Amino acid sequence: MVAPYLLGIDQGTTQTTAVVTNENGRIIAENSVQLPIRFPQPGRVEQDPWDILRSVQTVVAPLLASYPITAVGFDNQGETFILWDSKSGQPLTPAIVWQDKRGDTVCDALSKQIDSEWLHQKTGLLLDSYFSAPKLRFILDADPVLRDAAADGRLRFGTTESWVIWQLSGGKLHVTDPSTASRTLLCNINTLDWDDDLLALFDIPRIILPQIVPSAGYIGGLNFGIGGDIPLYALLVDQQAALFGQACFALGDMKCTFGTGSFVLMNSGTTPVYGAEGVLTTVAWQLQERAVYALDGGIFVAGAAVQWLADSLNLLPTVAASATFAAQSTDPDVTFVPALAGLAAPHWQTDVRGALFGLGRDTTPADIARAALEGIACRVYEVVTAMIAVAPAPPARLKVDGGPSANRYLMQLLADLLDMEIHVAAAQEATAVGMANLAAVAALGVTLDELAARWQKKKIYAPQMKAVKRQDTLDRWRRALASLQQFHNEWHG
């Protein structure tokens, strides 16, 4: 009998990654390809739908050629979506990326008509163009041809996994899962179904939407162009895939995935938890008809702030050098609020921009590097503490993954500010691993306890900072943030 191999696919915003694991959860092989992104005009962020499909086929091809895959799990980049023709399968729009702002005008108009708490209780979200529905409404309102096609059922809507699955199944499968649906502002997270009130609010015909299927279970066959169909057994949105990959299965288990931004999720159990200021409530996954929920806080700029210092300002020779530079800083008063793409959770002031405070003639690149890493850690601190305030169980640790989790200065600072151990995952590709693991649960009967026992950490950072210094650092951060917010309000007042 051939040993089972699991394929986990992470279709991210700038990169598509795939891993192959064996039945014991060990990574056997991995592959990744970059994905182009374009900015056709201010506020608009797009991708070519065919590029997304090709990236999946390209990244998977050498893995399928080398390993007999038993089951595949597939996650997607979140709120990014595509519209396509239901008969020809041709895309009718670019992929409208989650960072795109064209839904802002829709949000402004609807904010005067709705009760924000009503929307939050249904969706767990806020009215923001970050999510799919406002951008979808904008596109349909702006194009009568697309609006008519939607009304006639000739149009299909889907996030990136829905688009790829449709193409790889020859149009047989138009599906998504509850975790992804919960990021659209069209799904009721209590019923795990598209909601008529929300569809009416955004004027979206139900017929264009994919079927919502459980996150784990046999879904159908996908043909990647190599051999026959491969059975699809698992679907999740990317950050929930990372939560699963980090084995955060117990109440209060928490992870932070670092990359361009940083995304904190906490397992909040089988009942939605509300009340955290500026923190979202979302579906984590649905297994065997039972949903698990999470608290969710997205920070749009984390690693991107350090990359900006290195690539745009040329203050650092490389991104990796930031830890060494930061350790050489001699001025603790330089403070950086890294709101280069606005303040997301828990503030949701997406039109605010970043600021540096405390600059002098003697300020060095090392001081600015230290301030950048400190600003990233303070943003994560804000989200984590907001979650802990309403958590059904306190977290014992914070698990981290992603490229910046290798930055020793940042990780130690995070442990110090949170006064909590930081556990760096051994597997940096926690998202793709999470999908392979979920496919193993559905196809092989692997248990969550077995997955939790398999999870490995690479390094632990324990708190070292004295309470007085911790308080001084946080107080300085809060003053800088308040000054930025006041300036923004007066400038745009």
pLDDT in tens, 377-390: 999 999 999 999 98
Q: Check residue 350 and give its pLDDT.
A: 81
HEC assignment per residue over 149-214 = HHHCCCEEEEEHHHHHHHHHCCCCCCEECHHHHCCCCCEECCCCEECHHHHHHHCCCHHHCCEECC
- Asked whether residue 315 carries a pLDDT value surpassing 90, the answer given is yes
State how far Cα 57 lies from the chain centre: 22
* Segment (H or E) for 285: strand 280-287
Q: Check residue 99 and give its pLDDT.
A: 86
Predicted TM-score of the model (pTM)? 0.93
Helix, strand or coil, per DSSP, at residue 459:
strand
- Over residues 132-190, the pLDDT tens digits come to 999 999 999 999 999 999 999 999 999 999 999 999 999 999 999 999 999 999 999 99
Give the residue-averaged pLDDT of 80-95: 96
Q: Check residue 493 and give its pLDDT.
A: 62
Q: Check residue 266 and give its pLDDT.
A: 96
Q: Which residue has the tokens 């306890």?
A: 449
- Over residues 100-144, the pLDDT tens digits come to 999 999 999 999 989 999 999 999 999 999 999 999 999 999 999
Q: Which of 23-27, 406-410, 487-491 has the highest mean pLDDT?
A: 406-410
Residues of the chain with CATH 3.30.420.40: 5-238, 247-425+463-493
- First and final CA of the chain: distance in angstroms? 70
Q: Check residue 333 and give its pLDDT.
A: 92
- For strands 211-212 and 175-176, give the pairing: parallel
Give whole-number Cα distances, 114 to 27, 198, 474, in Å: 48, 11, 36
Query: Any idea which fold 247-425+463-493 has?
Result: Nucleotidyltransferase; domain 5 (3.30.420)
Measured between alpha carbons, how far is 326 from 379 in angstroms, rounded to an integer?
17
Closest CA to 180 of 81, 288, 255: 81
CATH number of this structure's domain 5-238: 3.30.420.40
Give the residue-averaged pLDDT of 87-108: 94
Q: Check residue 69 and give its pLDDT.
A: 95
Give the residue-averaged pLDDT of 248-264: 93
Q: Chain-wide mean pLDDT for the chain?
A: 93
- Over residues 334-368, the pLDDT tens digits come to 999 999 988 888 998 888 899 999 999 999 999 99
- Over residues 30-46, the pLDDT tens digits come to 999 999 999 999 889 99
Q: Check residue 473 and give its pLDDT.
A: 95
Provide the percentage of residues in the chain whose pLDDT is more than 90: 83
Q: Check residue 450 and give its pLDDT.
A: 95
Dihedral sign computed on CA atoms, order 207, 208, 214, 218: positive
DSSP state of 328: T
Closest CA to 377 of 319, 317, 429, 326: 326
